[in-house]
Amino acid sequence: MKKTARAHTNIALIKYWGKRDETLFLPTNSSLSITLDQFYTDTSVEFDETLDQDTFTLNNQPVSETERMKISRFLDKVRTFTGETRFCRVESINHVPTAAGFASSASGFSALAAASVKAAGTEATLEELSILARQGSGSASRSVYGGFVEWQMGEREDGLDSYAKQILPEGTFDVSVLSVEVSTEQKKILSREGMKRTVETSPFYQGWLDTVGEDLTHIKDAILHQDFTRMGEILEYNALKMHATTLGANPPFLYWQSATLKVMEEVQAMREKGLECYFTIDAGPNVKVITTPKAEKEIEKKLKSIDVVKEIYPCRVGPGISYID
Ligand code: ADP
Ligand code: DP6
Ligand code: CO
């Protein structure tokens, strides 16, 4: 039984940055994101008793042995959950750049969790899928749902209370996310290593932990009241604070490039002229500009005129997991 699932990426407005348990992917803080409608992964899974190991192709190419092992370790968790004992064939297509700060790990593991559970013939709740997807990549726990999504960190050591929940469905609060590409090169420091090094060595990390909870409470209130300005101010503040922690890590690092700064400056300049928009940045040099559908076109035009900008992908709030066959 071959099953195919589609999951969209998400962009965090309050960042997940740090793990308290690396094996179970338990975070040190709760986070909040918007699921994006334009970037997604389609993954097909078929269990087969003739296989003697899991196989994985990404964009029709076999991956390295290290990558295959990473996927296979995740599939072991799926086998434990479903009781399935066979190995499987996985084919995945990313309609998003891979490992470049566009959250391919979020759509990738969310789609893999959904497709593999279905292919094993098991029914799972969205909470269970979120818990599973989390154990492939933390941000994937949020891509199970559409709309505005909160991943509650939970308190339990077994991680059974660490899953995402939808706080506002798509189609309720219409925001526009302009995904501004300055580079699609694969990052040198993956999110996983970046957050680990920060947790272990950055003296600024405690400041992050002390304040991220308040940011989340305030932004949730702003979202529930559909207060765009307040949401924008908090998300930009939270993104800058996350990136500040990496500067204190040892060895220090920064995901930004000079092109990243140019886009950030333009966003602040547009805002001063009354065009409302705010930026956020994940673990990579690309910038996501959050604006209103009304201002979207004019802001897109201004951003396009920056020489270092390669491409702009206008996104809206997207849906949760779906099954293709
Ligand atoms: P990104 O910003 O793209 O999320 P990360 O460093 O978080 O970058 O994650 C990149 C990793 O996610 C890849 O090295 C790979 O292990 C995993 N990944 C990406 N796409 C997929 C996919 N379609 N299926 C499974 N895993 C994927
Ligand atoms: C900066 O979910 O990619 O994008 O759990 O190690 O796979 P792993 O990391 P990942 O980290 C995302 C970090 C971030 C912020 C966010 O998406 O919340
Ligand atoms: Co990622």
pLDDT computed for residue 323 by the predictor? 98
Task: Render pLDDT for 175-228 as a digit per residue (tens, 0 to 9).
Answer: 999 999 999 888 889 999 999 999 999 999 999 999 999 999 999 999 999 999
Domains of the chain, residue spans: 3-171+320-324, 176-316
pLDDT computed for residue 309 by the predictor? 98
CB–CB of 10/36 below 8 Å? yes
DSSP 66-135: HHHHHHHHHHHHHHHHH---SEEEEEEEEES-TTSSS-HHHHHHHHHHHHHHHHTT----HHHHHHHHHT
Residue from 199, 235, 282, 288 to probe ligand 2 pocket by mutation (most atoms less than 8 Å from CB): 282
Q: Is 191 in the pocket of ligand 2 (CB under 6 A)?
A: yes
What proportion of the chain, given as a percentage, has pLDDT over 90? 97
Q: Is 104 in the pocket of ligand 1 (CB under 6 A)?
A: yes
CB–CB of 27/12 below 8 Å? no
Q: Kindly report the protein residue whose alpha carbon is nearest to atom 23 of ligand 1.
A: 108
Task: Render pLDDT for 10-24 as a digit per residue (tens, 0 to 9).
Answer: 999 999 999 999 999
Q: Kindly report the protein residue whose alpha carbon is nearest to atom 4 of ligand 1.
A: 103
Nearest-angstrom CA–CA distance, 136 and 21: 13
Under the banding of pLDDT at 50, 70 and 90, the label for residue 325 is confident
What lies within 8 Å, CB to CB, of 137 at 6+ separation is 25, 105, 106, 108, 109, 191
Q: Is 110 in the pocket of ligand 1 (CB under 6 A)?
A: no
Ligand 1 centroid – CA 99 distance (Å): 5
Q: Kindly report the protein residue whose alpha carbon is nearest to atom 12 of ligand 1.
A: 105
Residue 298 amino acid letter: E
pLDDT at 109 > cutoff 90: yes
Ligand 1 centroid – CA 140 distance (Å): 10
pLDDT computed for residue 129 by the predictor? 98
Ligand 1: which atom is nearest the Cα of residue 101? 2
Task: Render pLDDT for 265-292 as a digit per residue (tens, 0 to 9).
Answer: 999 999 999 999 999 999 999 999 999 9
pLDDT at 320 > cutoff 90: yes
pLDDT computed for residue 100 by the predictor? 81
Q: Which ligand has its closest atom nearest to the C-alpha of 17? A: 2
Task: Render pLDDT for 86-107 as a digit per residue (tens, 0 to 9).
Answer: 999 999 999 999 988 899 999 9
Q: Is 95 in the pocket of ligand 1 (CB under 6 A)?
A: no
Q: Is 287 in the pocket of ligand 1 (CB under 6 A)?
A: no
pLDDT computed for residue 186 by the predictor? 84
Backbone φ, ψ for residue 286 (5° rounding): -80, 150
Residues linked to residue 69 through DSSP beta bridges, in sequence order? none
- Quick one: 176-316 is in which CATH superfamily? GHMP kinase, C-terminal domain (3.30.70.890)
Q: Is 137 in the pocket of ligand 2 (CB under 6 A)?
A: yes
| CATH 3.30.230.10 fits domain 3-171+320-324 | yes
Q: For ligand 3, a single-atom ion, which residues have Cβ within 5 Å?
A: 105, 191
Task: Render pLDDT for 41-68 as a digit per residue (tens, 0 to 9).
Answer: 999 999 999 999 999 999 999 999 999 9
Token look-up 């805002």 returns: 271
Strand, coil or helix: 245? helix
State ipTM: 0.99
CB–CB of 71/87 below 8 Å? no
pLDDT computed for residue 187 by the predictor? 84
Nearest-angstrom CA–CA distance, 93 and 68: 15
pLDDT computed for residue 101 by the predictor? 85
Ligand 2 centroid – CA 49 distance (Å): 34
